[in-house]
Structure 1
Amino acid sequence: MKLKTALMGAVATACMAQMAYADAHEGERGRDGELRIIYWQAPSIMNPYLSGGTKELEAASLVIEPLARYDTDGNLVAWLAEEVPTVANGGVSEDLTSITWVLKEGLLWSDGTPVTSTDVKFSWEYCTAEGGGCAQSEKYLDVESVDTPDDRTVVVNFSVAKPFPYGPFVGAQAPIIQAAQFADCLGPRAPECTEQNFNPIGTGPFVVTEFRTNDVITLAANENYREEGKPAFATVTFKGGGDAAAAGRAVHETGEYDYAWNLQLAPDVLSGMAEAGLGENVVSFGTSVERILMNMTNVDPALGDQRGVIGNPHPFLTDKSVRQAMSMAIDRALLTEIGYGDFGRLTCNVLPAPAIYNSDANDACLTQDLEGAKALLDEAGWAVGGDGVREKDGVRLSVLYQTSTNAVRQDYQALIKEWWEEIGVETELRNIDASVFFGSDPGSPDTFQKFFADVEMFTNNFDGTDPEAYMAGWTCDQAPQPENQWQGNNMPRFCSEEYDALRAEMAVTGDIDERARIAKAMNDILMQEYIILPLTHRGRNSAHAKTLGGVQLNVWDSELWNAADWYRTGDNR
């Protein structure tokens, strides 16, 4: 009974209803002409199963959709499904080992063919195919089989009782793809299917008309979209690349674009741009944390194809004392003030929200302690050499610190380099174009998932308000390796039997307080082993033209989640 009660409470009353959007501008599909969107991190693919980058998830969400997703308050709402299954409505089995979804009647793909349960099942098969590399595989943990008793019914069977069965096919990270289009793209062939990966057939409000990787995507209204009169825009120009400042100016000052994503800029810069009067900033806090990852593997280029492979440990970051000292040297309050101001909050956790999951066991990180860091390294036998760099047994504390190219991130890098070198850790800085860094090319040495550096920095978050799938991203089997085409979210290549056991425990735990206890324990392992160094709990900041209506900033799903409801209120050109 406790499991069933927790399940019902987790999805709240919103699980029983469809989302309704007020649109005072009803009319013909495509009536408002062109929508112009700019993401300064350019998408490199339109298939979120082959990329962990937010830019790809967001762009793809205009085209391919899940069975259910999360609204602006983090409530689970039906999307391609008729309703969200629960124990109360009979959609989740009494023993919590299966969940039954029913597709909306009459759904069509953008090519005019019917959407069926076969497509849903295939999406699972695609992500879990042997020899493939699926960036979202944690969404399908514990799925034993998927049955399709008829064209509209999908039954997901789990190998264990799942109190929270809303990982598969839910949120922007786990959309439905067309079986007919991707049939020849299973396993190792997935990255080779360029046409399918760039131009997916979808159910969303738009279809791709041209995809130029790391540059521009053009889209047109989906004539088979399920809601009459939507989308309001006939075409979308989705520009990628550049930098956050240029993107902000393009909305606020020149009016060249209608929507700019992720304006990672200093607060005074953002407020100054807004004074031009053409746009407005929208901000909301979710689970985004700017963090530094510590690489547990050796990425020496001399290792060749064994570079970054589990079994080749890092020469010094495997020493916890080094990782801890590097964390102690950081002044997070100063970083957050300089980088984000009111758009940032201090945190010592990679899981800062919702509040029930926020641990208070790691708050020591809020105070910089340079002298303590030095003493810790002294005690661990890392002696300061003649050039100021610490060494031990012929190994020097010298790190390559990489991140994406962005003014705020380069400010963070410069300050952290100064603090690390003060404690005797030589630091080389590297920044990589964001479109490449967050890209999906398994052959590139520069992606954040391949992580061919000692430490790297970026922000990440998760769909919805339940962290089970997110925290599963640091289990042993989630480490990017050649065998999975460098996909997976465990970029540090961290492996802990204790952590994996907690993941398994959370999968079968229904009581919300117990789920919180387990999630905090998983967070605390990562924090207290200093595998991840959280820096700032970031608010999501984007901007839109004052003449763009219908925008609802969503930090629990794709920012473009309700683009079908956007409309033009006037001419801002």
Structure 2
Amino acid sequence: MTLKTLLAGAAAGALLTSPAAAERGSDGEVRILYHQAPSILNTYLSSGTKDVQAASLVLEPLARYDETATLVPYLATEVPTLENGGVSEDLTTITWSLRDDILWSDGTPMTAEDVVFSAAFCMSPEGGCSWRSNYDGVADVTAVDEHTVRVTFDAPKPFPYGPFVGAQAPIIQKAQFEDCLGAAAVSCTEENFAPIGTGPFVVTDFRPNDVITFAANENYRDPEKPAFATVTFKGGGDEMAAARAVLETGEYDYAWNTQLAPDVLDQMAQSGEGEIIAAFGTLVERIEMNLTDPSPDLPEGERSTVAHPHPFLTEEPVRRALSMAIDRELLTEVGYGQAGRPTCNLVAAPESFASDNTACLEQDIEGARALLEEAGWTDSDGDGVREKDGERLSLVFQTSTNAVRQDFQALIKQWWSEIGVETELRNIDGSVFFGADPASPDTFQKFYADVEMYANLFDGTDPQSYLARYRCGEEPKPDTQWQGTNINRFCSEEYDALLDELAQTAEPARRQEIAKTLNDMLTADSMVIVPLVHRGRVSAKSNTLGGVVLNVWDSELWNIADWTREEG
């Protein structure tokens, strides 16, 4: 089956399989390979997908999204709604009833106090929580009793499923992390590397940026799961090696995010050891513009902070010209084929929330040149690089090390040179680029470059929390240990006011309208974010690995408790 056929079939549920019954630990070891190595296992302290997904083997939310994007209970007895009384009629509270059979992996019971603590941990201003936008608008979290938690919002919240929902907002154990609140969070190495959880596995050894070993959680709520006794979670290398290890050599059982040209993957799959799994979700490859100055001439702690605006990317005509010069159709053809779709939207899915903006899809080199010329950027000395007031249009363009991304960089550098922009390319190992080390100068959050390219996504189908990542104050900065979601340091009172309106809007059509407006403010209106490709999620699994259900709306490893070994 080719990647094209697979993506077409995914929409019809072609990836669903039924796991065979197995006893806990009876299937031995499962081997997982991520070409980006996890650097931390506390979800709240890293915005890297590889860290969130590795941690999801241990840490769980109250509810999450299944493969059909349906919200389902996990540590809660049901999903609260208006109909069942869990959401108040005035939409200001949501009350969660917890299962009474959930134990932490150390054998102690999970209670409402753990849930309350998890919110406090992420909402602490000095804690550097990467996913604080999931708690946007939360005024109070209270333990009503041992197994009931009430979340109160500061205004009516028609979509109250940010806190404790999805892989990005799990429950952590109060007893383990109570001395790690606020600024102390980043120094709690033992806790952050080996969290106690409620999931199907426990951490037995963690070597950051290398390998994690997990063992079946003996206190997991289903006595017959997980079927695997151990997990070896290897990180590092590249996409080519990861895909080959599953599809050709059979050395590994699962490879995540095999970001390779479709014909390469199809050729590998012909070896017969494994198969490609793919589906479209919310993943968008894009360029982020740094609105602050990343110059190394600034003192450490002041680079890429709002105290120092960028010398030329604060000019909208410059950002727009950079976008106009890009041929998204060609990028998609070169990098993804049928596994990609050119897009002008940050929120490209679900379709009901996607703006109809298509203006960026047509490359316009001449228009970009004219725009820069009109804005006063001219090549006065004939060296091919425009300048104005002594400032050259010269920028550093960084991304993670990846064959497709380096192809994109080369093409974009050429197009930018055609409009008079000089570009220095930088690529950084993905384990470092998407890491959580506040001391590293090379993380995408620190953003010590002018522009950077990567992709990320959001849990579920409602983009409210995702769009809230660009609220004023959510930018990474020294006093949050360089954690934060507002990567380009964008700030707009109008944008924040619309976010507040979205949070209080129940009518579906109006919610969609506001979300599209917010998307356009970041993209079409300002080009602070330059979307490139709406990417399909593409991974690889062994033919002997059963029970795998690709989920593009939550952690890709969301149902690892159901994985089994089958005869190949």
TM range (shorter): over 0.9
Structure 2 CA distance, aligned partners of 1:382 and 1:106?
A: 66
SS in 2 for 1:105: coil
Tell me the amino acid that sits aligned with residue 359 of structure 2. Answer: A
Structure 2 CA distance, aligned partners of 1:95 and 1:74?
A: 26
Q: 2:411 aligns with which of 393, 409, 415?
A: 415
Cα gap change, 1:196 to 1:300, in 2 (>3 Å): same
Tell me the amino acid that sits aligned with residue 528 of structure 2. Answer: I
Q: Are positions 1:501 and 2:497 aligned together?
A: yes
Structure 1 CA distance, aligned partners of 2:101 and 2:516?
A: 43
Tell me the amino acid that sits aligned with residue 540 of structure 2. Answer: A
**CA displacement at 1:142 relative to structure 2:** 1.1
1:190-229 correspondence to structure 2 within 5 Å: 190-229=185-224
**CA displacement at 1:129 relative to structure 2:** 1.7
CA contact (8 A) 2:44 2:122 kept: yes
1:114-513 correspondence to structure 2 within 5 Å: 114-304=109-299, 305-360=301-356, 362-384=357-379, 385-513=381-509
Structure 2 CA distance, aligned partners of 1:177 and 1:446?
A: 28
Matched with 1:543 is 540
Q: Percent identity?
A: 65
Structure 1 CA distance, aligned partners of 2:48 and 2:316?
A: 29
Structure 1 CA distance, aligned partners of 2:338 and 2:430?
A: 24
SS in 1 for 2:409: helix
Give me the CA root mean square deviation: 1.0
SS in 1 for 2:192: helix
1:3-82 correspondence to structure 2 within 5 Å: 25-82=20-77
Structure 2 CA distance, aligned partners of 1:245 and 1:260?
A: 10
Structure 1 CA distance, aligned partners of 2:511 and 2:127?
A: 31
TM-score (norm 1): 0.95
SS in 2 for 1:313: coil
The one-character-per-residue Cα deviations of 1:174-223 (angstroms, maximum 9, x if unpaired) are 00000000010000010100010000000000000000000000000000
**CA displacement at 1:386 relative to structure 2:** 2.2
The one-character-per-residue Cα deviations of 1:217-264 (angstroms, maximum 9, x if unpaired) are 000000000012100000000000000000000000000000000000
The one-character-per-residue Cα deviations of 1:104-157 (angstroms, maximum 9, x if unpaired) are 122100000000000000000111124221101001111111111211111111
**CA displacement at 1:48 relative to structure 2:** 1.1
Structure 2 CA distance, aligned partners of 1:534 and 1:108?
A: 43
1:525-540 correspondence to structure 2 within 5 Å: 525-527=521-523, 528-540=525-537
**CA displacement at 1:411 relative to structure 2:** 0.2
Alignment length, in residue pairs? 550
Structure 2 CA distance, aligned partners of 1:104 and 1:299?
A: 48
SS in 2 for 1:402: strand
Out of 328-337 and 126-135, give the one that drifted further: 126-135
Structure 2 CA distance, aligned partners of 1:336 and 1:165?
A: 36
Matched with 2:92 is 97
Structure 1 CA distance, aligned partners of 2:216 and 2:17?
A: 20
Matched with 2:11 is none
SS in 2 for 1:101: strand
CA contact (8 A) 2:19 2:547 kept: no
SS in 1 for 2:413: helix
Matched with 1:568 is 565
Gaps of 5+ in 2: 1-15
Structure 2 CA distance, aligned partners of 1:24 and 1:345?
A: 32
Structure 2 CA distance, aligned partners of 1:311 and 1:54?
A: 29
Structure 2 CA distance, aligned partners of 1:368 and 1:102?
A: 53
**CA displacement at 1:23 relative to structure 2:** 5.3
Structure 1 CA distance, aligned partners of 2:522 and 2:444?
A: 19
**CA displacement at 1:26 relative to structure 2:** 2.1
CA contact (8 A) 2:284 2:533 kept: yes
**CA displacement at 1:302 relative to structure 2:** 1.1
Tell me the amino acid that sits aligned with residue 279 of structure 2. Answer: S
Structure 1 CA distance, aligned partners of 2:304 and 2:122?
A: 23
SS in 2 for 1:478: coil
**CA displacement at 1:387 relative to structure 2:** 1.2
Out of 365-374 and 129-138, give the one that drifted further: 129-138
SS in 1 for 2:204: strand
Structure 2 CA distance, aligned partners of 1:329 and 1:179?
A: 51
The one-character-per-residue Cα deviations of 1:434-486 (angstroms, maximum 9, x if unpaired) are 00000001111100011110000000110000000000011111111112221
Matched with 1:3 is none
Structure 2 CA distance, aligned partners of 1:565 and 1:354?
A: 27
Tell me the amino acid that sits aligned with residue 91 of structure 1. Answer: G
SS in 2 for 1:428: strand
TM-score (norm 2): 0.96
**CA displacement at 1:24 relative to structure 2:** 5.3
Structure 2 CA distance, aligned partners of 1:339 and 1:269?
A: 11
SS in 2 for 1:403: strand
Matched with 2:10 is none
Matched with 2:8 is none
